Amino acid sequence: MKKKIFLAVMLLAAMSLMSGCMMMSGNRLESMFGTKDTSTATQTVNLPAGSGDTVTISKIEYERLAKFADLADLYDMAEYYFYKEPDREKMIEYAAKGLMAGLDDPYSFYYNSEEFQEMWEDDEGNYVGIGVMISSNMETLVCTISRVFDGSPAEEAGVQRGDILYRVGEDLYVNADNVNEAVKIMRGEPGTTVDVTFLRNDEEITFTILRREININQIEYKMLDGEVGYIAMYAFAGEAEKEFEAALNSLLSQGVKSLIVDLRDNGGGWVEQARYIGDLFMDEGDLCYLLYRDGNEVQEYRTADGKNDIPLTIIINENSASSSEILTAALRESAGATVVGTKSFGKGIIQQVFSVGDEGAGCQITIAEYLTPKGNKVHEVGLEPDVIVELPAGDNGSYDFADLEKDVQLKKALEIAREKLK
């Protein structure tokens, strides 16, 4: 048993799980296992023969480490019995991934150093790839193209919004569980190509797409007529909140008197960006409440006085999630916004991103559920629009930005925005 405990200590030290997390305090064992041990009972663990060393730890720490004895035993068996030299770093990485998978939460997971770097590149909006945004449904596991970037290789190849990502290369059939692997394959060296297969109207379509540098803008905007402005926001990432404010200021300089905010297919991102945008239209109050597992409701995201009184109309759909739902609910309940479209996704939980260890790895963990300013639940419920507008049969949204002829949801939002001027 003591040998197992020693192996557990060594393995866990190598894993360094949570030991380097941002905004976390305490020593390595406290950060890994939670509560601080105050017991005076101790347990002495002998290190391997010949080392002449012992380690004395508290009884509670010993009992915690004992829970990892089977894991250490598996590591030891692979070390001695596996028919090839084991990849120890990969074993530890998958142990970390498995530990997070044991939370049974699709939004809590471990990033190795490469994945963590790619996550930040996604947030910054600059990478080498084909130029699509993917919406993954954790219930159906279907991955749908929610945006094709203007001027991107994907657009040039013929990929359309609404296409279902079906296969990458010859062998990887894509679903929500392995979409990160698919994204990794679609990225690569600029000037190289990748075969990507989509489903469109139940037919397979394969494109050979050139990889190149992609620069993502998170905001598009324009005046729809002399008094109604339109801002589409695709993600709460990068510096989207500042892009949004710049777009609003530009529209105000053009005389906008009623504003449409389009959050369709916006899967969310940084909550602080939602607070920043909410602050433009709300007086002092709460963007949302965070409900932690101890039952405490925390007012963590506050807005300040000094709102813009412009009437708001918001468009959402089944892919509007997380920060999109937070902002929509807050602006409806606290700024009188009218919501148009279809019921939102219903992701009413918040994740926090942490660094892990010293080698550039990371993780994200669901830390709380959120409630709207009036205390309404969103998770697994979604937001019902004030005015429901379904897309016509066969409409996958593959039309130009601000297309008032084909986009029936935007057309209805414009009618409502004009009504607000009366």
* pLDDT at residue 397, rounded to an integer: 73
Confidence of residue 15 (pLDDT cuts 50, 70, 90): very low
Question: In whole angstroms, what is the distance from residue 108 CA to residue 99 CA?
Answer: 10
Residue 388 to residues 262, 305, 311, 355, 384, Cα–Cα distance (Å):
15, 32, 19, 41, 8
Rounded-to-5 percentages of helix, strand, coil across the chain: 30, 30, 40
* Residues 6+ positions from 243 with CB-CB distance below 8 Å: 217, 218, 219
Helix, coil or strand: residue 271: helix
Q: What is the pLDDT of residues 313-325, one digit of tens each?
A: 999 999 999 999 9
**Residue 228 and residue 289: Cα distance in Å, rounded?**
32
Each residue of 165-199: pLDDT tens digit?
999 999 999 999 899 899 999 998 999 999 999 99
How confident is the model over 193-218, as a mean pLDDT? 93
**How many degrees, rounded to 5, is the angle at CA 136 between CA 135 and CA 138?**
145
State how far the Cα of 335 lies from the Cα of 33, in Å rounded to an integer.
43
**Comparing 418 with 180, which gets the higher pLDDT?**
418
Element (H, E) at 119: helix 113-124
pLDDT of residue 48: 55
Q: Which residue has the tokens 């596991």?
A: 141
Mean pLDDT of the chain, nearest integer = 87
Fold of the 126-215 domain:
Pdz3 Domain (2.30.42)
Which range (237-241, 308-312, 375-379, 393-397) has the least confidence? 393-397
Where is pLDDT greater, at 109 or 41?
109
pLDDT at position 411 over 60 = yes
**What's the pLDDT band for 136 if we cut at 50, 70, 90?**
confident
Looking at residues 35-54, what average pLDDT do you find? Answer: 53
Q: Which of 227, 247, 226, 244 is nearest to 235 (CA)?
A: 244
Q: Where are the beta strands (DSSP E) in 257-380?
A: 258-262, 285-291, 297-303, 312-316, 338-341, 349-356, 361-371
Sign of CA dihedral 162, 166, 170, 172: positive
User: Amino acid letter at 200?
Assistant: R
Domain with CATH 3.90.226.10 in the chain: 219-419
pLDDT of 399 strictly over 90: no
Predicted pLDDT at 22? 32
Q: DSSP assignment of 139-153, as one string?
A: TT--EEEEEE-TT-H
> Which whole number is the average pLDDT over 39-66?
69
As annotated, the residues of the chain forming the CATH 2.30.42.10 domain(s) are: 126-215
Report for 41-45, 103-107, 135-139: range of highest mean pLDDT:
103-107
pLDDT tens-digit readout, 217-246: 899 999 999 899 999 999 999 999 999 999
Sign of CA dihedral 303, 307, 308, 312: positive
Cα(73)–Cα(1) distance, integer angstroms: 10
- Predicted confidence at residue 362, as pLDDT, reads 96
pLDDT at 352 over 70: yes
**Where is average pLDDT lowest: 48-62, 82-96, 135-149, 193-207?**
48-62
pLDDT at residue 49 is higher than 80: no
pLDDT recorded at residue 27: 29
Closest CA to 400 of 385, 392, 410, 390: 410
Whole-number pLDDT of residue 288: 96
Number of H helices and E strands in the chain, helices first, is 12, 21
**pLDDT of 19:** 31
Q: Is the pLDDT of residue 77 over 70?
A: yes
Class of domain 219-419: alpha beta
Q: Is the pTM of this model over 0.95?
A: no
**Counting beta carbons within 10 angstroms of the beta carbon of residue 306, is it exposed (0 to 12), middle (13 to 18) or buried (19 or more)?**
exposed
For 28, 246, 289, 352, 353, the CA distances from 24, given in Å and listed in that order, are 10, 35, 22, 11, 11
Which residue in this structure is represented by tokens 């663990």? Answer: 45
Q: CA angle at residue 329 from 328 to 330, to 5 degrees?
A: 95
Instruction: Give per-residue pLDDT as tens, 243-292.
Output: 999 999 999 999 999 999 999 999 999 999 999 999 999 999 999 999 99
The DSSP bridge partners found for residue 15 are none
pLDDT band at 30 (very low <50, low <70, confident <90, very high): very low
